[in-house]
Amino acid sequence: MPKMRIETDSMGKVEVPAEAYFGAQTQRAVENFPISGICIPAPLIHAMGIVKYACGVANRDLRKLTESGKNRLSDEQVSALLAACEEVAEGKFDSEFPIDVFQTGSGTSSNMNVNEVISNRAIEIVGKDRFSEEKPIHPNDHVNMGQSTNDTFPTAIHVAVGREVANSLIPALRSLTAALAKKAEQWDEVIKIGRTHLMDATPLRLGQEFGGFARQIELSVERAESALNAVLELPVGGTAVGSGINTHPEFGARVSEEIASKTGIPFIEAVNHFEANAQRDGLVECHSNLKTIATTLFNLANNIRWLGSGPRCGFFEVSLPSRQPGSSIMPGKVNPVMSESMMQVAARVIGNDQTITLSGAAGGQFQLNIMMPVMGQTTLESVVLLANSANAFVEFCVSEMEANIDQCGSFVEESLSMVTSLNPHIGYMKASALAKEAFKTGKTIRELCVEQQILSDSALQEALDPFSMTKPQE
């Protein structure tokens, strides 16, 4: 049996693991929520450390005191509290946050988990006994001063999501854009057949096709930036219901300014704290952009999977890198695993959006949303999955792809849609008949035109020039 110690909270005594930095309220939550084994994600814990640090700085600078003076801290104690907050923000105490994500809907359990860890670590820093019943740096009175879970926990969610979008997702999408644009430039002279409805269409250049892909991801960068903008307003300063009870009027602005300074992201105080406490519409908006990005990535991965299909009985216009054996029974088979991985990530993110939508719509009653932990965890999962998938797709797929130039060209001459460029010369109906005859006889459009002397040799050569068909004609 592990060694235990006794901790006390407002409900009484609780046994806590002997060396843990967390205390009674954390332990109660661990026991109450044996649900999934999925803990609050590390980026959210780190963001809580940043938020608590900023709150400590604001309280120090505002010299906020109760009438009794109980909450007064010495400079040494304030320094210790801030140092402990920074250690949490740096991930030094990640193992001290064991509470399941499916917990109290406000996140109170996790907020108190953070408060307890910071309190005990700060007590340790000033050379006091963190196991004593008296807490010279108290989790509620000092670490949580001027705060409520109801404003600091959603603030931390916004900070965590904002940091991951800004520092991980946007750079990953920009990298993918650049990799696709590079292929578009390299393959600008490679003629291939177009496809609409999965059927043969008029020619285009492989570079044009990949230029379209690059633009799709470039737009995804803009959507990621919109996702970031959706979480820039911070609820901190509203405390319990948005009224700001038990905090200084300048507290929210000062905390938001400090968070912006520490993260390099332009977070601001919420325009209206009642809105900011009550609803998580910013997260819903944020994730809707993530869903759109996922939709685009699914489409990109699937198109590249199709272009690489084969190698002998598919399109095989692009050769995908061989990453691993593809079959336990078919020797030599290699599969488009990176595309499949990205498509699964996209499916997960699209599914996550339903969780966010329902949590935002049904979870907010009056002055508080009560589904915040799952909203935070789900949004962060989506951001991390999209960023990691985009990075892996660049490194293990796009950068190593090669154009199969001969294969691209072989389809062009066989396409019945080559007849499209004859429309201005012979009209739609005659061109349609020519296409049907070509399909029936197995001949190419060019061969039939020569046999039937549809156009002069020079006019036919000009009309059926594949490269000229990849751009507007003057």
Arithmetic mean of pLDDT over the chain? 95
- Specify the pLDDT at position 69: 53
Tokens of 376: 């935070």
Q: Where in the chain is the domain with CATH 1.10.40.30?
A: 415-470
> What pLDDT is attached to residue 119?
97
Residue of higher predicted confidence among 69 and 117: 117
Average pLDDT, integer, range 294-316: 97
Please say if 109 is a catalytic residue: no
CA distances from 183 to 192, 297, 342, 395, 453 (A): 15, 17, 19, 13, 40
In the chain, CATH 1.10.275.10 sits at: 4-145
Distance, CA of 351 to CA of 17 (rounded, Å): 37
Could you please state the CATH topology (level 3) that the domain comprising 4-145 is classified under. Answer: Fumarase C; Chain B, domain 1 (1.10.275)
Q: Which of 36, 322, 327, 468 does the annotation list as catalytic?
A: 327
Protein fold of 415-470: Ribonucleotide Reductase Protein R1; domain 1 (1.10.40)
| Catalytic residue from among 10, 68, 132, 197 | 197
pLDDT tens-digit map of 178-233 = 999 999 999 999 999 999 999 999 999 999 999 999 999 999 999 999 999 999 99
| 155-237+279-406: CATH architecture | Up-down Bundle (1.20)
60-98 pLDDT, tens digit each: 999 754 444 556 788 899 999 999 999 999 999 999 999
pLDDT band at 363 (very low <50, low <70, confident <90, very high): confident
Active-site residue, 432 included? no
